[in-house]
Amino acid sequence: MERRSVHQPRIKHLAVKVGAVLTLIPVIAVGLLLYALYARGMFDSTQALTLNAPDAEGVVIGMPVMFSGFPIGQVSGMALDELGRVRIEVSVKKKDARWLRISSVFSLEKQFLGGAKIRAFSPRMQDPELPAGAERQLVSKDAAQDIPQVIARANSILQNVDEIIRPDSSFNQTLANLKSVTERMAGEYGVLGGVTGSPDQAKKVLDTVDSVNALLASLKGVTARADGVLAKTDDRMFGQGGVMDEAKRSIAQLNTILLEARDSLKKADEVLANA
Amino acid sequence: MNALHAWLTLVGQGFSEWLDAWVRVSRFAMTALIGMLSPATYNKATRLVVQKQIYFTAWQILPGFCVFAALFSYLIIEIVGITARKYGLYEYALELIVRILVLEILPLMTALFVALRTGAAINTEVALMKIQNELDALQRIGIDPMRLELLPRVVGGTISVLALTAVNIVAALWLTHLAIVDFHPWTLTDGDFTRMIGKVLDIPVLLVLWAKTLAFGFAVTVIPISEGLSTPQKLFHAPISVLRGMVRLFFSLMLIEAAALAMVYV
Sorted by where each begins, the domain ranges of chain B are 48-265
Chain B positions in Cβ-Cβ contact with residue A29 (cut-off 8 Å): 166, 206, 210
Q: Check: CB of residue B176 under 8 Å from CB of residue B97.
A: yes
The confidence score (pLDDT) of residue B63 equals 92
Mean local confidence (pLDDT), A107-112:
78
DSSP letter, residue A129: B
Percent of chain B with pLDDT over 70: 99
The confidence score (pLDDT) of residue A14 equals 86
Shared domain check, A158 and A90: no
Whether residue A199 has pLDDT greater than 60 = yes
Q: Which residue has the higher pLDDT, A145 or A10?
A: A10
pLDDT tens sequence across B110-128: 999 999 999 999 999 999 9
Asked if A23 is an interface residue toward chain B (Cβ–Cβ < 8 A), one would say: no
Give whole-number Cα distances, A137 to A140, A238, B90, in Å.
Answer: 9, 105, 31
pLDDT tens sequence across B180-203: 888 876 777 777 788 888 888 888
The confidence score (pLDDT) of residue A220 equals 93
Domain with A166 in it: 150-186
Shared domain check, A36 and A115: no
Q: Which residue has the higher pLDDT, B143 or A89?
A: A89
Percent of chain A with pLDDT over 70: 93
**Alpha-carbon span A107 to B153, nearest angstrom:** 59
**Cβ B55–A33 below 8 Å, yes or no?**
no
Shared domain check, A90 and A71: yes
Q: Which residue has the higher pLDDT, A96 or A263?
A: A263
| DSSP, residue by residue, B71-129 | HHHHHHHHHHHHHHHHTT-HHHHHHHHIIIIIIIIHHHHHHHHHIIIIIHHHHHHHHHH
Query: Helix, strand or coil for residue B23?
Result: helix
Shared domain check, A54 and A132: yes
The confidence score (pLDDT) of residue A2 equals 45
Asked if A242 is an interface residue toward chain B (Cβ–Cβ < 8 A), one would say: no
The confidence score (pLDDT) of residue A201 equals 85
Shared domain check, A54 and A131: yes
Shared domain check, A99 and A112: yes
**Candidates A3, A14, A25; nearest CB to B55:** A14
Mean local confidence (pLDDT), B55-63:
90
Average pLDDT value over all residues in chain A: 84
Whether residue A34 has pLDDT greater than 50 = yes
The confidence score (pLDDT) of residue A4 equals 55
Whether residue B15 has pLDDT greater than 50 = yes
**Cβ A114–B195 below 8 Å, yes or no?**
no
**Alpha-carbon span B7 to A241, nearest angstrom:** 159
**Candidates B163, B166, B194; nearest CB to A39:** B194
Chain A positions in Cβ-Cβ contact with residue B159 (cut-off 8 Å): 21-22, 25
A202 found inside a domain: no
Q: Which residue has the higher pLDDT, B145 or B115?
A: B115
**Alpha-carbon span B193 to B173, nearest angstrom:** 10
- Most confident of the ranges A4-8, A11-15, A265-269: A265-269
Whether residue A5 has pLDDT greater than 70 = no
Number of domains composing chain A? 3
Residue B191 distance to chain A (closest CA, Å): 8
A161 found inside a domain: yes
Mean local confidence (pLDDT), A101-120:
81
A262 found inside a domain: no
Query: Helix, strand or coil for residue A77?
Result: strand
**Mutate which: B56, B90, B94, B194, vs A, most A CBs within 10 A:** B194
In chain A the first and final C-alpha atoms are separated, in Å, by 210
Q: Check: CB of residue A197 under 8 Å from CB of residue A184.
A: yes
Poorest-confidence range of A19-28, A47-56, A247-256?
A: A47-56
Residue A30 distance to chain B (closest CA, Å): 10
Q: Which residue has the higher pLDDT, B266 or B62?
A: B62
In sign, the C-alpha dihedral spanning B39, B43, B44, B47 is negative
pLDDT level of residue A254 (50, 70, 90 thresholds)? very high
Q: Which of A159, A186, A213 is the last residue of a domain?
A: A186
pLDDT level of residue A7 (50, 70, 90 thresholds)? low
Size of interface A-B (CB pairs under 8 A): 79
pLDDT level of residue A6 (50, 70, 90 thresholds)? low
Shared domain check, A182 and A107: no
pLDDT tens sequence across B223-266: 999 999 988 888 888 999 999 999 999 999 999 999 999 998 88
How many CB atoms are located within 10 Å of the residue B153 CB?
Answer: 25
A233 found inside a domain: no
**Cβ A36–B54 below 8 Å, yes or no?**
no
The confidence score (pLDDT) of residue B108 equals 95
Chain B positions in Cβ-Cβ contact with residue A20 (cut-off 8 Å): 59
The confidence score (pLDDT) of residue A42 equals 76
Poorest-confidence range of A159-173, B1-15, B149-163?
A: A159-173
